[in-house]
Structure 1
């Protein structure tokens, strides 16, 4: 019996032009089943919207999978098992199932949870992941400034760790990529002002989508009291740290004598 494959198809953060050729080839197939995440029965799938704007028609079978916006581990576990129970019969019937993912399927994406849960139910199922453009890479391009150059260090962290965690990173990293900033937007604005980093920061919401929003420096203060999308991030260039300074005790620059050895 031939089993189907579970394929995580990365779509990039919002601009259909950032869909890779590998992802496009999978989406052009007519013999697959598309699945895509949604946060609630009343919320449309952002991933499905990207392929719709790319004018890629869905196959005959396509269905949303519900992954609620919650930190409750029991609810999350139930949603992963429910989704796995939905796709597993299709895979066992020999159908390839595409799971559409905004951004990159390996970076803070639901696909990893789905793949692990499916394989926990049947380890014979093969899983493929098609790499994509991360939101923070696209955001840096939109802002027209690099994430890092030469010896710069970059930290990618969920903002939910809190501003105290960010303080600990300032000594070691030249650029902070703050993901999932929605819950702490007010605290982050306070922190940027207190650390005099506001002018070196930018906010990007729904990068590449028609309703993309980009705010820089003091312009971000207008976010106070506003509704912010879950699909938002901040880039902070840390001018408090000497540019290119190495993490203490690690990655020391080689001397000319070392390079000649």
Structure 2
């Protein structure tokens, strides 16, 4: 029997209207959905997709638990466990969709599973979605970069030192749990700062200055730090 194919589908940052037509079509056409979390219907990715395609609620949802761990061996064990679970369904010959928040190519959990699945001979396809940083820039009505400005996308900024000293503009992701430390880095940089927390979601919050940002900002806090002077 031919093995099924799995699509890693980005559902965008939060607003269901920002899902792509391709993502909607694949959700409508498929019956099996892998969702990263213990309770699929409680995950952000599922809620976004279901708001755009209500029929998803009636389809088969398979939780693929991907816990946050610091131990590398444990991380690899969880990835292997998740891939093995997915392969059980793909071996039945049916295609499936892995729902992922944002874009499927930017800091995406499916990336790790994709590598294992392909090593085992399964076909995969990445379906892009609107990234959180593009959506956040649009939300605050500013361009991310212009003319010859570089754009630096950084995860967990608190781990990268105490300076934003490269030319161009910065996007800082996944720094919410260390926001007090990140705010000090932002102050020292002298850059213009905008932050969107939970972009496109019902509890979205926007901050236009470092001093407005709460130290306890949430995990989905996206920071855009831009240079004052631009050489166009």
Asked if Structure 1 and Structure 2 have the same fold, meaning a TM-score greater than 0.5 normalized by the shorter chain, the answer is yes
**CA shift in 2, pair 1:23/1:42, >3 Å:** closer
Distance 1:105 1:16 in 2: 16
Superimposed CA distance per residue, residues 43-98 of structure 1 (whole angstroms, 9 cap, x where no aligned partner)? 92110111122243225311221111223212211211111111102111111110
Per the alignment, residue 255 of structure 1 pairs with none
Describe how 1:182-197 pairs up with structure 2 within 5 A: 182-197=176-191
Contact 1:202 1:220 in 2 (8 A): no
Matched residue SS, 1:145: coil
The structural deviation recorded for 1:35 is: 0.8
Structure 2 counterpart of 1:208, from 195, 200, 203? 200
User: Once the two structures are superposed, what CA deviation does each residue of 1:201-236 show, in whole Å capped at 9, x if it has no partner?
Assistant: 011111111111111104534x12x2x322221000
Residue 27 of structure 1 contacts residue 56 of structure 1 at CA under 8 Å; is this kept in 2?
Answer: no
Query: Counterparts in 2 of 1:236-247, with a 5 A limit?
Result: 236-239=225-228, 242-244=229-231
What's the CA shift for 1:161?
5.5
Partner of 1:258: none
The root-mean-square deviation of aligned C-alpha atoms, in Å, is 2.1
Normalised TM-score (structure 1): 0.82
Shift, 1:2, TM fit: 1.9
TM-score, structure 2 normalization: 0.91
CA distance in 1 between counterparts of 2:170 and 2:219 reads 18
Rounded to whole Å, the distance in 2 between the matches of 1:179 and 1:74 is: 25
Match of 2:26 in 1: 26
Q: Would you say the 8 A contact 1:174–1:244 is kept in 2?
A: no
User: Within 2, Cα distance between the matches of 1:52 and 1:25?
Assistant: 13
Return 5+ residue gaps in structure 2 as ranges. none
Alpha-carbon separation, structure 2, partners of 1:219 and 1:49: 32
**1:233 is aligned to 2:222:** yes
Pair 71,236 (structure 1): closer, same or farther in 2 beyond 3 Å: same
**The structure with more radius of gyration:** 1
Partner of 1:48: 46
Stretch of structure 1 that moved more, 186-195 or 102-111: 186-195
- Bigger mean CA offset, 89-98 vs 70-79: 70-79
More divergent stretch after superposition (44-53 vs 54-63): 54-63
